[in-house]
Structure 1
Amino acid sequence: MSIGDRIRGVKSAIKDFLIGATVYDMIRDLEEKRLCAEYMLMLAVVGDMLGYPISSYYRFRLLPYWAPRLQTWKHYLLKERDVTEKLR
């Protein structure tokens, strides 16, 4: 292991520490909001899978992109929730 590799390792560790200490919570919140927005769009487009009577032209265009996530989306929407989940 050369000195250059060690310096790169230390730089990477410092960078990860600073990101974790400053913006990590914001990144997590944004990812959660993005996922929620995507799930709501999925509900509007393919909501008939859960019993919502919605017809949409765009369903067939977006379905190939959403096919891998459909099971996770169904589980997310049909999961029982408690008030304490929003209090984190």
Structure 2
Amino acid sequence: MRGWCEIETGKCTKQRSNNNLQTVCEDILVDKATNFYAGLLHSPPVAYKEELLPLLEECAYPEHSKGTIVRTPTSDDIYWKLHNLLKKIIREA
């Protein structure tokens, strides 16, 4: 998770700029121009690519909040959709 600090006061707040699920999706699973490596799911199975990539994007950037410092947390609904889809992909592999 990433914290949020007020430059004016020099103090960090209790507010987080993302949650753990967003961090996993953003920093590990999806490709980012600032990453020096490809995300772990940068090349998903063709049969699932159309469903998986938008789901990962929504996981990392809820409500299309890419570039926003403080984001809405990723919903439980997105977590379960991603969880179930990844389980399905693994079972069929």
Q: TM-score, normalised by structure 2?
A: 0.30
Q: Which has the higher strand share?
A: 2
Question: Whose helix proportion is higher, 1 or 2?
Answer: 1
Q: Which has the larger radius of gyration?
A: 1
TM-score (ref. length: structure 1): 0.31
Greater relative contact order structure (CA < 8 Å, 6+ sep): 2
